[in-house]
Structure 1
Amino acid sequence: MEKMERLLYEASVEGNATVLQSLLEKDPLILDKVTLNQHDDMPLHIASMLGHIDFVNEILAKKPKLSLERDSQRRLPLHMASAKGHVDVVKALVSANPDACSAGDRDGMNPLHLAAVKGRNEVVKELVRAQPHVARALVQQDTILHLCVKHNQLEVLKLLIETMSDHEFVNSKDADGNTILHLAVADKQIETINFLVFNTTIEVNASNTNGETSMDILSQGPNDTKYQQIIRCLTRSGAVEAEKESFFAPIPQNSTNKTGFDNKKYYKKPHLEKDSKNDNDDWLDKKRNTLMVVASLIATMAFQAGTNPPSGVWQDDSTTDPLHRAGFAVMVRNHPNYYHVFLVCNTVGFVSTLSIILLLISGLPFLRHRVFLWVLMVVMWIATASMSLTYLVSILALTPKPDSKPFKNVVNGIIFVWISLMTFLVAAHAIRLMEIFHKSPHSRKKPLST
């Protein structure tokens, strides 16, 4: 009997279906006996693990119930075939017993879980097609998506999300309240993060049980190259850090929760100065970027207006008029006073915006101060006002009857509104600047010592 069992074992390793048939003719119960006496060297498990499809089909034809036999790790033959990626064997086993798809091993993992963590895409497709509900089974409160991220299986993750197409499934949380985005950020899986943020319905500002968002998780790691790439990706998607107020809740001394764990570990120590500095830096960066964009736009407009003045340029030369030369501005001859005002205002706007651009790209350390930014904003106001006057002078030069009363009323009304708006902005910012200086520590008087 031991000799036949050894032959059966060797046949299962080699995938020799002919030997299997011969042994079954001699002893029709040999498969049952081997399964009863052994736990890890069962023929169907071995053949499934090695991908011997003919051998597997022969056993399933004779004893289909053997597909539900478990080894010492509580694994079915389908677990072995799924982990190894043998698609044909998986199809045969699923066809013999579809319930095997939902069977969990000693760790609670079903065949689909094993295929996912091993990156067996074709097996995952087959199992999900056969039994879609098994994809929702949990492993110690981890979904199959959490397992994919933990084992860095991006392709399987994409396949499952596209196949399931379920918002709640994508945003499922593990025992610690972490979504798959939390895990991907913690492990700095850049490709996974990009996929989740831009191709799924993941909630980028979801919080875990500690009240941490994905941005909070990222801030806990080193500021390296991956950090910079991830923070740009998360910022573009609208991700923010958790509300600071949630970290300042009073914590009773020596308090514990109902399970006996110390509550203090679930709270962060507030870093007011650091958070304030980061917020200030973010505000300054946004303002500088806005100034750069607007300055570039105004500089382009001023350059075009300077090289292509209103009314254009002469296309030929005149022998009698020295101002009538090819390439000279027509406005110089027809409206000399307007042209001088036009040229001055346009030049002021052009030079002002170029100065802003030059200072912003210089990288000087004092550029990160609010006062300097306020100065740049004043320069931008001057440039904007200059371009407005440039436009007004151009309209006056191009309008056939600038002395008509309706035209004057409209122009005067526009000028009045513009001057009022500029006055309001200058006054508001001046008052704000004085309040900043008044509230600064250096402006406060020291109390008299007694």
Structure 2
Amino acid sequence: MDLPKNLAKMGLALHLAAANGHVEILNELLKVGCDLCTIEGREKRIPLHYAAIKGRVHVMKILLSACPESVENQTVRGETALLLAVKNNQFEGFTLLVAHLKQFQKESVLNKQDNQGNTILHLASSRKQYEVFNQVLGEDSVTKAVVEVNSLNKVSMTALDVLLLFHSEAGDLEIESILQQAGGKRANDMHSSVTSQSQENHQHGQVPESNIPMEQSEVPTTHYRSRIDQLADYFTYKKGRDRASDVRTALLTIAVLIATATYQSGFSPPGGVWQDDKNDTPKQVAGKSVMDTKNSASFFLFMFGNTIGFYTSLYMIYFLTNGFPLQLELRCSMLAMIITYVSSMGTIAPS
């Protein structure tokens, strides 16, 4: 009997049972051994990761009881079960994991970062999750002294920076208050305070920290950038973070919006079209563009730009839907759009 192959199959079955909440199957599989809890599947996920994503609290309890160390496992993106629970808004599962970390004295997992340098506080800030902050940094929280509130992610932002990036809702003030009471700062303020301390030491004749060997210096060396740079980095596509399917969906949505806007403009140019003929004005012909009568150069630029946008968006749709079902029907509908567009522009444009 090929034991490793059988274990792999049972591991896959455990993944499916954990994701779908099949407790009976889960208990039967765990009779084989607790090692199944750490068998990695797609993107190095273990059963606990799937349970955390889906919020299967009863499954998480069984898995954590069978293998307490699995709470430290990370996916290929550096995500722990705790980070996945926050990403997927599974607060009940998050609460269970925090209690487990405290029970087994593994509070350091609270400060683990994913591949983008984000901690649970960065993720909770971007999602405005008051419950997470209250759980780990609230007045009655037992983990308050352990959590690092000023960790910098890969784009040099603290949790407070992420929160204030889109500071718009009234609930943000409560989260900001919790962060600040716990010692949370903006990265710029941290940089300023370190600079001021260095200048003060220099005035008192102390050795500047720039002359201290790197291993002895506690000064953050991260280059600080402007808010515009932070916004650009925050929204920049990153291959390891953003899924190709999500990117394709976003591009398809944008292409469809552009195609819709340019198609509609082809039928209704600026100024509309003449409603009737006028014998004493040769250019005033029913169905022709009013804009061309007033300014031919502007109308040409409008036609040129609108047509480029329309055809480019259709090309994007054609490319991004390659391999989709009902290909023939989709291509026929796109060809019909092109025919009606060309017909409309030919009618509106001057002879």
Report the TM-score, using the length of structure 1 for normalisation.
Answer: 0.39
Question: More relative contact order in 1 or in 2 (CA 8 Å, sep 6+)?
Answer: 2
Report the TM-score, using the length of structure 2 for normalisation.
Answer: 0.49
Which of the pair is proportionally richer in helix? 1
